[in-house]
Amino acid sequence: MQPFVTHAGFAMPLRRTNVDTDQIIPAAYLKRVSREGFGDGLFAAWREDPSFVLNQPRYAGATILVAGLDFATGSSREHAVWALMDYGFKAVIAPRFGDIFRNNSTKAGLLPVVLPEKVVAALQEAAEEEPAPSVTVDLAAREVRVEGGAHGGLVAPFEIDDYTRWRLMEGLDDIGLTLRHEDAVSAFEATRPKWLPVTALAGFPKLSPIAPRMHSAAGRSRLPRHHVGRIATLCARSRRWWRFTDINCEFARTSCMP
């Protein structure tokens, strides 16, 4: 996860309220086996309309989405966050978010900024100006600033708890937080008696045939969904760490297996 401290870019106005995660990324696009590529399905149904904001050339390259009330409610799918990030958005500003989406965003590196409706409306108006002014989302200062245009000088403070702010600024997702204690984990494993049991995979009684299957020449392989948790335990016990996605149990192309 990349650290987020401050970001300056152009904003895209999404003048719609009650946008749910199925509208952000339809279920038909959830078959991918990595976090990449979901930007193609972002607002897929609405993009069939040539006049939709994502289809307007003037907003190409926008990195800040300014949405309406109750953005990203509904399904808990993380794919909504991945789709927005894959498209290029670094922050989303709205008067209110779905709670699960907001939590998923902060764990993936997408900053959700809650501002009053009047301020959001002003930011949408600023985004519609030509030329569009620069918008800065400053997590360190906890404020959004508009530079230039009719709304130049607008400064809007926002609230975010200290812990979430720290994680975002440090670029720490859940795995990153765990790996901060890697020395302690290694020390514990080093003192663990050899005779204690190690979790084994159902259908794969030995470690030796598992490793070649997981570490194919292409760097990717598939295993049944019910093996995911057990694989993570086994790799931890053997002190071999793998990065993997939870979609169709396909391991990522990179690993730090010795």
189 and 166 assigned to the same domain:
no
For residue 70, being part of any structural domain is answered with: yes
185 and 89 assigned to the same domain:
no
203 and 163 assigned to the same domain:
no
Q: How many CB atoms lie within 10 A of CB 112?
A: 24
Which of these three, 151, 173, 195, is where a domain ends?
A: 173
102 and 197 assigned to the same domain:
no
For residue 38, being part of any structural domain is answered with: yes
Indicate the Cα dihedral angle 117, 121, 127, 130, nearest 10°.
Answer: -170
C-alpha–C-alpha distance, residues 66 and 137, integer Å: 12
55 and 86 assigned to the same domain:
yes
Average pLDDT, the chain: 81
For residue 243, being part of any structural domain is answered with: no
163 and 189 assigned to the same domain:
no
Report pLDDT for 65: 98
DSSP string for 75-107: ---THHHHHHHHHT--EEEES-B-HHHHHHHHH
210 and 131 assigned to the same domain:
no
- Quick one: what percent of the chain has pLDDT higher than 70? 76
Residues 213-242 have pLDDT tens digits of: 444 334 444 444 444 444 444 444 444 444
Instruction: Identify the band that residue 193 occupies on the pLDDT scale cut at 50, 70 and 90.
Output: confident
Residues 27-53 have pLDDT tens digits of: 999 888 788 899 999 999 999 999 999
E-only strand ranges, 115-187: 134-138, 143-147, 155-157
- Quick one: what percent of the chain has pLDDT higher than 90? 62
Which of these three, 118, 148, 173, is where a domain ends?
A: 173
Residues 69-88 have pLDDT tens digits of: 999 999 889 999 999 999 99
For residue 246, being part of any structural domain is answered with: no
| pLDDT higher than 60, residue 153 | yes
13 and 137 assigned to the same domain:
yes
45 and 148 assigned to the same domain:
yes
Q: What is the CATH number of the domain that holds 34?
A: 3.20.19.10
Range in 20-24, 117-121, 197-201, 241-245 with the lowest mean pLDDT: 241-245
φ and ψ of 29, to 5 deg:
-95, 5
| pLDDT higher than 90, residue 95 | yes
Instruction: Identify the band that residue 258 occupies on the pLDDT scale cut at 50, 70 and 90.
Output: very low
| pLDDT higher than 90, residue 62 | yes
What mean pLDDT is predicted for residues 90-113?
Answer: 97
Which residue range is the domain that position 17 belongs to?
Answer: 6-173
φ and ψ of 212, to 5 deg:
-60, -35
156 and 209 assigned to the same domain:
no
| pLDDT higher than 50, residue 186 | yes
Report pLDDT for 221: 41
Report pLDDT for 107: 94
37 and 148 assigned to the same domain:
yes
Long-range contacts (CB closer than 8 Å, 24 or more residues apart) made by 113-117: 113/137, 113/144, 113/158, 113/160, 114/158, 114/159, 115/144, 115/156, 115/158, 117/69
For residue 252, being part of any structural domain is answered with: no
C-alpha–C-alpha distance, residues 104 and 112, integer Å: 10
For residue 30, being part of any structural domain is answered with: yes
Report pLDDT for 120: 98
Which of these three, 173, 191, 212, is where a domain ends?
A: 173
What total of structural domains would you count in the chain?
2
Judge if pTM exceeds 0.85: no
For residue 15, being part of any structural domain is answered with: yes
What mean pLDDT is predicted for residues 161-174?
Answer: 95
Q: What token pair was written down for 96?
A: 């209110």
228 and 160 assigned to the same domain:
no
For residue 97, being part of any structural domain is answered with: yes
